[in-house]
Amino acid sequence: MTKVHRDSDRVWLEGVCGWSWRDKRSSIQAAQAAVVHACGEAVSYEYLVGVSGLAFRMQLSKEGFCPSSPHAFCGFQCVARSTQALPWNVRVYSGKPEQTEHVREIRQAILASIDRGVPVQYGSEEDGIIVGHRKGGEEWLCLHPMREAGTKMFVETTLGWGIAVFTARKAELPDRRALAEAALEQAVEMAGTREAGGYLAGFEAWEQYIARLGSLEDADDRAKREALLGNGWIFACLAQHRACAASCLREISGEFAGPAAESLEKAADLYERIATQVLTDQRQAFSGWDQWRGELRQEQIQRLQNALPLERQAIAEIEQAITLAAERRAAAPGSPGAEAAVKTDEKHRSGS
């Protein structure tokens, strides 16, 4: 829990932890987790990335290797459900500097939140958290993953594109089973979606990513340098998001029963294999221009090619879990389909 400190015109919160972008690639869900952790809630970053759908998404900008490709707000958006999953209500503000009255309202909401011990989520391209203020709100004390790895407060004077104020704990906690089912359905939907906004999606994005990397062999050094940053971020996010998928699936499998839970565990095993054995290893390859030359680029292509069949298997297991859960629900005890559901379970377990 946080403790409010005051010193002259400076107010700040003790007990709030920032994060590094290396540890948590999605700053939106990382900021959400940081705020609720500061409020004493046990909600993991991995769960929020998973239940949002982001853990299962693959996107690639139509324009090339744009670093925006993995962002939760871009293309097939993956934000609403992680917000729903929070045990606190959230009010989102956005405003332009010329909207004087509205900006004043936003500033007052931030001041009030800090004064009662609750950090505030803020962001533009990437999100951070406001953990204090000076000069009556003219200056904000912030933590951000792109500044000092989220370890030191710094002063920010602008509000950014969006502000999320966590107002109060919800009277009723979110329905975890409903959130889990919606995330699984979204995972299957995204896998089969070819385009979302200005981005390629799903299996199509996987295949085009591999093809674009291959085409760089004949490109000039400038094109390779331009692709370096975006490629590195997309690849790193893909690996970490799949690790989050494994963690989240193991957590939500407890909301299901029998064969459906077994299918989710199998999908979790596949995603963990993708994240920790196939896409990445101890060497931390593909991290710099001097290293990312033909040989390692070919290795990256091979890793993606090896991961894609596992990705397809994982989605198939999730789809199977959805089907089995629906059949079990439709054939609850006493319903006309109960006997058929039992036979389905027995058939699944026997492997026939």
Closest CA to 57 of 336, 333, 317, 311: 311
Query: How large is the average pLDDT for residues 166-195?
Result: 96
Q: What span, in angstroms and rounded, lies between the C-alpha atoms of 347 and 352?
A: 6
**What pLDDT was estimated at residue 219?**
87
- Rg over CA atoms, the chain: 22
Q: What span, in angstroms and rounded, lies between the C-alpha atoms of 38 and 55?
A: 24
Query: How large is the average pLDDT for residues 2-26?
Result: 94
**What pLDDT was estimated at residue 218?**
85
Query: How large is the average pLDDT for residues 133-149?
Result: 92
Q: What span, in angstroms and rounded, lies between the C-alpha atoms of 76 and 199?
A: 8
Closest CA to 118 of 15, 8, 240: 15
**What pLDDT was estimated at residue 173?**
92
**What pLDDT was estimated at residue 61?**
96
Domain spans in the chain, listed from the N-terminal domain onward: 3-42+88-169, 177-342
Output the six-digit token pair for 295: 């040989």
| pLDDT tier, 161 (very low <50, low <70, confident <90, very high otherwise) | confident
Sign of the C-alpha dihedral computed for residues 72, 73, 75 and 79 taken in this order = positive
Q: What span, in angstroms and rounded, lies between the C-alpha atoms of 35 and 164?
A: 10
- Residue with the bigger pLDDT between 9 and 312: it is 312
| pLDDT tier, 309 (very low <50, low <70, confident <90, very high otherwise) | very high
**What pLDDT was estimated at residue 6?**
94
pLDDT over 90 (residue 26): yes
Q: With pLDDT > 90 as the criterion, what percentage of the chain qualifies?
A: 74
| pLDDT tier, 157 (very low <50, low <70, confident <90, very high otherwise) | confident
**What pLDDT was estimated at residue 194?**
95
pLDDT, tens digit (0-9, with 9 covering 90-100), for 51-96: 999 999 999 999 899 999 999 999 999 999 999 999 999 999 987 7
Highest mean pLDDT: which of 99-113, 151-165, 236-250? 236-250
Closest CA to 52 of 75, 29, 19: 29
pLDDT over 80 (residue 286): no
Query: How large is the average pLDDT for residues 237-245?
Result: 97
Neighbours of 300 (CB within 10 A): 20
| pLDDT tier, 335 (very low <50, low <70, confident <90, very high otherwise) | low
pLDDT, tens digit (0-9, with 9 covering 90-100), for 205-236: 999 999 999 998 888 888 888 898 899 999 99
Q: What span, in angstroms and rounded, lies between the C-alpha atoms of 212 and 79?
A: 28
Query: CA 144, 149, 150, 152: dihedral to nearest 10 degrees?
Result: -110
Q: What span, in angstroms and rounded, lies between the C-alpha atoms of 346 and 91?
A: 48
**What pLDDT was estimated at residue 141?**
96
Question: In 85-153, at which residue ranges do the beta strands (DSSP E only) sit?
Answer: 88-93, 120-123, 127-134, 139-143
pTM of this structure: 0.90
